[in-house]
């Protein structure tokens, strides 16, 4: 009888040990599943962007967001209308392609409520070499091309003024046009062109004042630049490119994670190393 009891006791003990291992492993599996589930629940962040440089910059955040449990989906747009309409309808979580003055104007025109959640970069205007390689070579009647849309023309003229080529009427600021030029020592002819055509027609003028994104798209390089718009210029401060969301989504965890990734040191370094001054971080 004692032997039988001893055997039963051993079997009972072994059975208890045998049951405890799966229970412990099961608990770990449940915990791991819970963590994985929480990661999956963070889901996908869908961001609309212009191809250059916005989508390129966003691509660099992919690994940062993955570490936080998010998948990044970039939707590229070739125009400046659809990204805001898609954001309003909820097809996008955010977009990244515009500066705040454009966003405000678009809201007013389309009766939308989209808001900026932060600045990422600005694209400084540059004076690019055309037929000549130095402003010292300017001669009477030389042509310099600038964008023909109001705010960008004002920025271009402001850069020419900063470089001593012309003088603009005091107070004209971001509303300046070529009609506001009050001093033009070389009688420079200001040629107004659509922004997208400036780089394509650069061989027809002495110099061209071009926005950074168009210069990049058309393959212009830093060694073709005479001067860049300074980081503390009115244009750079005002026209920094922002991330926009639908009002009410500013504190969405997805958006917070996206902004932390975009305003990280990794992205700052990428912008500075990649674009050689044609794009500059604004954070």
pLDDT band per the 50, 70, 90 thresholds, residue 41: low
Question: What values do phi and psi take at 166, rounded to 5?
Answer: -140, 170
Which of the two residues, 208 and 36, has the higher pLDDT score?
208
> Looking at residues 86-91, what average pLDDT do you find?
98
Which of the two residues, 246 and 80, has the higher pLDDT score?
246
DSSP type of residue 248: T
Using CB atoms within 10 Å of the CB of residue 82, give its burial: 0 to 12 exposed, 13 to 18 middle, 19+ buried: middle
Per-residue model confidence (pLDDT) at position 47: 98
Angle at 232 between CA 240 and CA 126, to 5 degrees: 70
**CA neighbor of 90 nearest in space, from 263, 279, 252, 283:** 252
- Would the pLDDT of 244 be above 80? yes
pLDDT band per the 50, 70, 90 thresholds, residue 222: confident
- Would the pLDDT of 17 be above 70? no
Per-residue model confidence (pLDDT) at position 169: 97
**Which residues share a beta bridge with 50?**
77
pLDDT band per the 50, 70, 90 thresholds, residue 13: very low
| Helix (H) / strand (E) containing 118 | strand 114-122
Per-residue model confidence (pLDDT) at position 213: 83
Cβ-contact 168, 158 below 8 angstroms:
yes
Decide: helix, strand or coil at residue 148. Answer: coil
R_g over Cα of the chain: 29
Least confident interval from 21-25, 56-60, 108-112, 161-165 = 21-25
Using CB atoms within 10 Å of the CB of residue 128, give its burial: 0 to 12 exposed, 13 to 18 middle, 19+ buried: buried
> Looking at residues 168-178, what average pLDDT do you find?
94
- Would the pLDDT of 172 be above 90? yes
Per-residue model confidence (pLDDT) at position 212: 87
Residue 139 CB contacts under 8 Å (≥ 6 apart), including other chains: 186
**CA neighbor of 136 nearest in space, from 145, 146, 127, 147:** 127
Residue 255 CB contacts under 8 Å (≥ 6 apart), including other chains: 93, 94, 117, 243, 245, 249
Cβ-contact 87, 246 below 8 angstroms:
yes
**How far, in Å, are 132, 147, 161 from residue 97 at the CA level?**
32, 19, 28
Q: What is the mean pLDDT of the chain?
A: 87
């Amino acid at each position: 009888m004692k032997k039988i009891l001893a055997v039963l006791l051993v079997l009972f003990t072994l059975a208890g040990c045998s049951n405890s291992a799966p229970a412990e492993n099961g608990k770990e599996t449940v915990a791991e599943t819970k963590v994985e589930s929480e990661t999956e629940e963070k889901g996908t962040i869908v961001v609309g962007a212009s191809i250059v440089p916005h989508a390129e910059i966003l691509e660099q955040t992919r690994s940062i967001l993955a570490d936080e449990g998010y998948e990044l989906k970039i939707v590229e747009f070739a125009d400046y209308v659809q990204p805001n309409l898609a954001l309003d309808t909820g097809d996008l979580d955010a977009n990244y392609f515009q500066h705040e003055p454009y966003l405000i104007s678009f809201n007013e025109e389309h009766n939308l409520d989209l808001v900026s959640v932060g600045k990422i970069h600005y694209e400084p205007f540059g004076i690019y070499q055309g037929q000549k390689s130095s402003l010292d070579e300017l001669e009477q009647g030389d042509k310099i091309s600038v964008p023909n849309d109001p705010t960008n023309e004002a920025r271009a003229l402001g850069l020419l003024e900063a470089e001593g080529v012309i003088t603009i009427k005091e107070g004209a600021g971001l509303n300046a046009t070529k009609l506001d030029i009050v001093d033009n020592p070389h009688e420079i002819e200001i040629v107004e062109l659509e922004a997208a055509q400036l780089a394509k027609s650069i061989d027809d003028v002495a110099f061209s004042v071009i926005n950074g994104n168009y210069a990049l798209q058309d393959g212009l390089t830093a060694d073709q630049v005479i001067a860049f718009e300074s980081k503390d210029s009115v244009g750079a401060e005002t026209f920094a490119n922002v991330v926009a969301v639908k009002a009410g989504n500013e504190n969405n965890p997805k958006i917070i994670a996206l902004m932390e990734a975009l305003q990280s040191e990794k992205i700052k370094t990428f912008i500075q190393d990649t674009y050689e001054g044609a794009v500059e971080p604004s954070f």
